[in-house]
Structure 1
Amino acid sequence: MIRTLLALDGALVLGALSFVLAAEDDIRVVAEVDRGDAVSAAVRAQRPDVMVADLDFVEGVDPGRLGLCPVLVLAHPHRARRLRGLLCPTRAVGILRSDAGPQRVIDGIRRLARREPVLDADLVVAALRSDGPLTSRETEVLRLTAAGAPVAEVAVSLGLTRGTVRNHLGRIARKVGARTRVEAVRMAGEAGWI
């Protein structure tokens, strides 16, 4: 029996996956967690064989706090760059897209329980890419904008005109597929570009 802990954001997704896994003879869900700050305690209490978790719930968590439990990380393609820190040969981590089908997740749980690799090739390639679509200047502009600096302050900090800063912000938004500056900051942050 593969003791499985689910650490996923959203009650609907969590409940649906738990329901699907309940139909499997060799998998038992031992805990469901819908908050990242509750993951470590659930792992210590339940000692699962495999954990299925959202990237946000395990990113930056000290591996020692997760025990030796293999983790099947579900990540959105826009967040693939953030997977880089999880790609470690000493840690049993599987990586799938967050929109992977139920059977793919079930197979991933079984493979991780046997300590076999589970990887979505496109996500791994995206995680290992060394650069994003932004130039170094665009990255500087967006970092200052993300820190709350208005256009005038960004311009002074970087020795640019206000118009040039606005042009950079417009190009950044187009490159990342955002409609607003706030959305561009969010998307670039999630992708690990700033």
Structure 2
Amino acid sequence: MIRLLLADDQALVRGALAALLDLEPDLTVVAQVGRGDEVVAAARESQAQVCLLDIEMPGIDGIDAAAQVTAELPGVRSLIVTTFGRPGYLRRAIDAGASGFVVKDTPAAQLADAVRRVHAGLRVIDPTLATESLTSGENPLTPRESDVLAAALSGGTVAAIAAQVHLSQGTVRNHLSSAIGKTGTSTRAEAARVAHERGWI
């Protein structure tokens, strides 16, 4: 039996996924969590072999959770299962060590097959997303620009963003200006929105 952990902040989605996957003769759901920062401890305690991770969760997101699993539980595989099929997310997930990336409307039989393939050490990526990722190009933002834009998503002032990312206001303005140029937008709000839509932040 392949032992699975499900991480999704929506209990209904988690329950539906668990019910579907438990119908498979070789899969069993051994743990469920609603927060990204609970994944590693729950995976360790339940001896899960594959973690199915949503991206947007409280605590930490699924991509950061995948990175933690890779670092702390090297024998455990991560499969991102998300509503948010954004090319930038795919690239970040693979960089974080995830073995696969599929969207939630994947048919149950295909999802079960993706779990088996990931467990076997293979990589599974939604083909439409893979194509989009190749055509959309690399994320042009530096890590610091990404941090500043992520902080700008909430619409705070430059002073508030500076406090959040522990940089001077002048440095924040420079990063925002650069990010606006790279995203082809004219305001920090637009730059943050575009970067978020593309999965860069």
Output the TM-score relative to the length of structure 2. 0.65
- Mapped contact 1:50–1:71 kept (Cα < 8 A): yes
Provide the residue aligned with 2:9 in structure 1.
9
- Mapped contact 2:8–2:34 kept (Cα < 8 A): yes
- Structure 1 segment 51-90 matched on structure 2, within 5 A: 51-56=51-56, 57-60=61-64, 61-62=67-68, 63-88=70-95
CA distance in 1, matches of 2:7, 2:55: 10
Provide the residue aligned with 1:168 in structure 2.
186
Structure 2: any 5+ residue segments left out of the alignment? 159-172, 175-184
Judged with a 3 Å threshold, the aligned counterparts in structure 2 of structure 1 residues 8 and 66 are, in CA distance, closer, same or farther, namely farther
CA distance in 1, matches of 2:200, 2:99: 23
- Mapped contact 1:82–1:127 kept (Cα < 8 A): no
Amino acid across the alignment from 1:99: D
Tell me the SS of whatever aligns to 2:81: strand
Provide the residue aligned with 1:98 in structure 2.
104
Tell me the SS of whatever aligns to 1:48: coil
- Structure 1 segment 3-42 matched on structure 2, within 5 A: 3-42=3-42
| Larger Rg, first or second structure (1 or 2) | 1
Q: Structure 1 residue 99: deviation in Å?
A: 2.2
Structure 1: any 5+ residue segments left out of the alignment? 151-156, 159-166, 173-180
1:12-51, CA deviations, whole angstroms, 9 ceiling, x for partnerless residues?
1100111112221111111011111110111111121211
Provide the residue aligned with 1:161 in structure 2.
none
Judged with a 3 Å threshold, the aligned counterparts in structure 2 of structure 1 residues 149 and 96 are, in CA distance, closer, same or farther, namely same
1:79-128, CA deviations, whole angstroms, 9 ceiling, x for partnerless residues?
3302213325x946111113212222111111112223311122223345
- Mapped contact 2:79–2:100 kept (Cα < 8 A): yes
**2:122 pairs with one of 116, 127, 130:** 116
Judged with a 3 Å threshold, the aligned counterparts in structure 2 of structure 1 residues 187 and 38 are, in CA distance, closer, same or farther, namely farther
**1:130 pairs with one of 129, 137, 155:** 137
**1:148 pairs with one of 156, 160, 173:** 156
CA RMSD of aligned residues (A): 3.7
